[in-house]
Amino acid sequence: MALYDEDGRRLDTAETAAISELMADYLDFVAAKQKEGVEMSLLAVEEAFAASAGLDAEHRRRLNFIARTYLEHEWAGPRSEVSLLEYDKTLGFAGHDRVFPGGYSQITERLAEGTQIRLGHEVKQVDYSGARVDVFTNHGSFQANHVLVTVPLGVLQAGRIAFNPSLPRAKREAIRKTRMGVFNKIFLKFDSVFWGDDYELIGYMGSQDSDWPEIVNFHKIAGLPLLLAFSAGAAGEQNERRSDAEVVACLMECLRKMYGQNIPDPAGHLVTRWKQDPFSFGSYSYVPVGSKQSQRRQIGMPVDNRVFFAGEATSQFFPSTVHGAFLSGVRAAYEIMLADAKQDLLKDGQGPTDIYV
């Protein structure tokens, strides 16, 4: 990562090392606060560290950069809401972050081979009150023995899909107590590369939450003249309310501080707005103050052995990730297979049987 200060000056090696030291001290403080077991938000612990360390305005701004890129970008929720005690009660996964230049569709298209997918069918209701499950959409209804619900948590929270009977109270409570965060992206396409190519990430330590603290150098990764900037948490929600032109202008203002006023305007751009998406209402989930990661298990629990749930929000140990979503689907598939096996045994007159895997 190449780090730049608020005025656009690139930090030297010693200054970069000092920020690494500040980050290590801050994370030690976070770990100590977790051991104390006092529930608070990530922002509250950040402010407590700044006070205890006596940070001046410059170092407070650098701490803000660390907290935004290391924590807020990871969990998507505003630091004022994310739980200190629960935010990292997850498991690591082997390997490094990867960028797919050809897009994630390379995976989904392969997984979808041999299946029937009906696009444009917006589900309005899942009725499991009868012998089979009825799914009502804007283009008619469908019946099945089992239904797997994989819509984002935000869709369940918004009540976009009605369930009959209503979902169990414990599941409704778990859905309500978990939150959807915002992690948006803005791609800028240029005709040529004007930034350095010796690093994968550009870090900008501005003082405004609307600034863009972390920018990916796509040319280094994929050979394309693209820059990708992240906007998460409260800043992500704020930037969603801006027009594309305003978002691009804000990002270009940061880039011009770093690379000069004469850099060209982008030839194209792409801005995501996940909170406004009616089929998502956010990017991925996080655990707020007063809630628990373990409630994700309740979100993913089957109902009546006929309505099943998957998605990143149902993954207790790998939430907010693609692999967590994928593995939750594998888990749900096994649950459906077990339900089928149990039903077959009942039909064969062998009586009720519990099957464990």
Per-residue pLDDT reduced to its tens digit, 218-266: 999 889 999 999 999 999 999 999 999 999 999 999 999 999 999 999 9
Instruction: Provide the CATH number for the domain around residue 234.
Output: 3.90.660.10
Closest CA to 210 of 252, 266, 179: 252
Is 289 domain-assigned? yes
What is the rounded average pLDDT of the residues 260-275? 97
* pLDDT at residue 89, rounded to an integer: 87
| Residue 51 and residue 38 share a domain | yes
Among 55, 75, 95, the domain boundary falls at: 75
Q: What is the pLDDT of residue 104?
A: 86
146 lies in the same domain as 187: no
Look up the domain containing 42 and give its range: 7-75
Whether residue 39 lies inside any domain: the answer is yes
**Residue 98 placed within a domain:** no
Claim to verify: residue 201 and residue 268 sit in the same structural domain: yes
pLDDT tens digits, one per residue of 296-332: 999 999 999 999 999 999 999 999 999 999 999 999 9
Domain boundary residue among 226, 254, 276?
Answer: 276
253 domain-assigned: yes
Task: Average the pLDDT over 267-289 and give the result.
Answer: 97
CA atoms within 13 Å, Cβ hemisphere of 127: 12
For residue 223, count other CB atoms closer than 10 A to its CB: 10
Signed CA dihedral, 126, 131, 132, 137: sign only = negative
- Domain co-membership, 188 together with 55: no
> What tokens were used for 55?
């940070």
Model confidence at 295, pLDDT cuts 50, 70, 90, reads very high
**Tens digits of residue pLDDT in 33-54:** 999 998 999 999 999 999 999 9
Which of the 8 DSSP states describes residue 10?
A: B
Low-confidence winner among 11-15, 52-56, 274-278, 339-343 (lowest mean pLDDT):
339-343
**Phi-psi region at 349: left, alpha or beta (left = phi > 0; alpha = psi -120 to 50):** left
34-38, 97-101, 143-147: range with lowest mean pLDDT: 97-101
pLDDT value of residue 290? 93
- Residue where the block lists tokens 């940061």: 254
Give CA 162 to chain center in angstroms.
25
**Predicted pLDDT of residue 356:** 30
Helix axes 42-53, 13-36, angle to 10 degrees: 120
Tokens representing residue 13 in the block: 């090696």
Domain membership of residue 124 (yes or no) is yes
> What pLDDT digit, counting tens, does each position of 60-71 carry?
999 999 999 999
Domain match, 176 and 287 both: yes
Chain mean pLDDT for the chain: 92
Whether 202 and 151 share a structural domain: no
Q: 24 and 67: one domain?
A: yes
Q: Distance of alpha carbon 112 from its chain centroid, rounded?
A: 23
> Percent of the chain, pLDDT > 90?
83
Which helix (H) or strand (E) segment is 136 a member of?
A: strand 133-137
Look at residue 106 and tell me if it is in a domain: no
Q: Cα dist. 52→25, 47, 299 in Å? A: 11, 9, 39
Residues 181, 286 contacting (CB under 8 angstroms): yes
Same domain flag for 140 and 286: yes
pLDDT value of residue 237 = 93
Q: Is residue 150 pLDDT above 90, yes or no? A: yes
**pLDDT given for residue 216 in this prediction:** 95
Of 50, 75, 100, the residue that ends a domain is 75
pLDDT of residue 355: 31
Which pLDDT score, from 0 to 100, does residue 217 have? Answer: 95
Does residue 349 have a pLDDT over 60?
no
What is the C-alpha to C-alpha distance for residues 124 and 161, in angstroms, rounded to an integer?
Answer: 5
**Are both 208 and 171 inside the same structural domain?**
no
**Residue of 92 and 17 predicted with greater confidence:** 17
In a domain, 89, yes or no: no
Average the pLDDT over 13-28 and give the result: 96
Structure tokens at 220: 């280094």
pLDDT at residue 88 tops 90: no
Q: What is the dihedral of CA 258, 264, 270, 272, to 10 degrees?
A: 30
- For residue 197, the model assigns a pLDDT of 85
Structure confidence at residue 350 as a pLDDT band (50, 70, 90): low
CA distance 68 to 208: 12
Question: H or E element: which one contains 140?
Answer: strand 140-144
Report the candidate in 9, 21, 32 with the shortest Cα–Cα distance to residue 63.
21
Q: Are 197 and 160 in contact (CB under 8 A)?
A: no
One domain, residues 210 and 327: no
Q: 298, 120 in Cβ contact below 8 A?
A: no
**Residue 212 and residue 63 in one domain:** no
Same domain, 19 and 150: no
Total count of residues recorded for the chain: 357
CATH of the domain at 334: 3.50.50.60
What DSSP designation does 265 have? P
Q: Is residue 19 part of a domain?
A: yes
Mean pLDDT for 112-136 is 94
Peptide bond into 319 cis (omega under 30): no
Task: Tell me the C-alpha distance between 83 and 86, whole Å.
Answer: 5
Helix, strand, coil percentages in the chain from 3-state DSSP, rounded to 5: 40, 20, 40
- The count of domains in the chain is 3
